[in-house]
Amino acid sequence: MASPSDQSVYYIPHNGWYPVWIAFGVFMMLAGFGTWLNDVKAGEAATDWMSFAGLGILAVVLFFWFSKVIEENQQGLANEQLKRSYVWGMGWFIFSEVMFFFAFFGALFYARNFAVPWIGGEGDKAITGVLWPNFTAEWPVMSNPDNTLFPAPHESMAAPGITNWVSYLPFWNTVILLTSSVTVHFAHTAIKDKARGKLIAWLGLTILLGILFLTLQSYEYLHAYHELGLTLHSGIYGSTFFILTGFHGFHVTLGTFILLIQFLRSLKGHFAPKDCFGFEAASWYWHFVDVVWVCLFFFVYVM
């Protein structure tokens, strides 16, 4: 066993099947989701048991894997060298997430500044008169080139004038997430100050704000689908809107779950001023999710 101060020995865990089961669970989840989409598209009775089974496998394996890592850390097996690898690992993970969202923001940029203007007759690659001569380039696209195949929405989710933001739901979601960044920072400060009660209170409040955000976003989706006619079938505007906000919502769900794990650990007395990387990694991820939402708010809703 390597002591926490021993820099010469890199702790290597025993062989385990965790990665194999994780891969199997993810495969089942994605395969089931793809099958469900195909069944819905074909108008057949759709059941998504495979996705739920894969999600269940994923949850169980992650629970035992996280428990094992936490147990090893509590036993003092994680020396400084291993902890640095945790930092680099989380850093590269967040970088991969940045690139993930960069691809979708790039798709939004391409659609708004190139594809839609070209179809509307602007630029050197304009194709007006060839396919849809009556199409007018505008964003959000409220009149699709083929309204039969892609029914246009009745109304967009574009932000009203800044004086009307007080009644605009995405604005309040922005306030909620920015506030949650502050509360998770206060929770981190509480660890440094050895204030267990404040840690639990601020972290619990952060989790509640995350749940409130997801609740309001669910309401926003229902409103968009049933009252605005904005769906995944609404052409490029509907596709980019739901892909960007939907994937972000998934990340908020994941971040809330991660923070919940840290909350349960804090109730058990875990975390010390110089031994709290699990919480720090969760807070880094949460701040990243908040930054992505700010970009979404301006590029998807406002601009």
Map out the domains of the chain with their CATH numbers.
1-78 (1.10.287.70), 81-302 (1.20.120.80)
Q: List own/partner pairs for 172-176 with CB under 8 A and 24 or more apart.
A: 172/216, 173/213, 173/216, 173/217, 173/220, 173/293, 173/297, 174/293, 174/294, 174/297, 176/209, 176/212, 176/213, 176/216
* Residue 219: per-residue pLDDT: 94
* Residue 1: per-residue pLDDT: 42
Structure tokens, 150? 């892609």
Angstrom CA distances, 239 to 92, 107, 126, 213, 224, stand at 28, 11, 22, 21, 13
* Residue 116: per-residue pLDDT: 84
* Residue 131: per-residue pLDDT: 66
Q: Determine the Cα–Cα distance for residues 109 and 170; give it in Å rounded to an integer.
A: 20
pLDDT tens sequence across 249-269: 999 999 999 999 999 999 999
Structure tokens, 3? 């002591």
Cβ proximity of 302 and 159 under 8 Å: yes
pLDDT tens sequence across 60-115: 998 898 888 888 888 877 778 888 888 999 999 999 999 999 999 999 999 998 88
Q: What is the pTM of this model?
A: 0.86
* Residue 290: per-residue pLDDT: 96
Please list the ranges in the chain whose pLDDT falls under 70: 1-11, 13, 46, 123-131
Structure tokens, 206? 């952060």
* Residue 294: per-residue pLDDT: 95
Burial readout 161-186 (b: 16 or more C-beta within 10 A, e: otherwise): eeeebeebebbebbebbebbbebbeb
**What count of other Cβ atoms lies within 10 Å of the Cβ of residue 261?**
17
* Residue 120: per-residue pLDDT: 74
Phi/psi zone of residue 270: left (φ > 0), alpha (ψ -120 to 50 degrees), beta?
Answer: beta
Please name every residue paired with 275 in a beta bridge, in sequence order, or none if there are none. Answer: 272
Structure tokens, 32? 């089931």
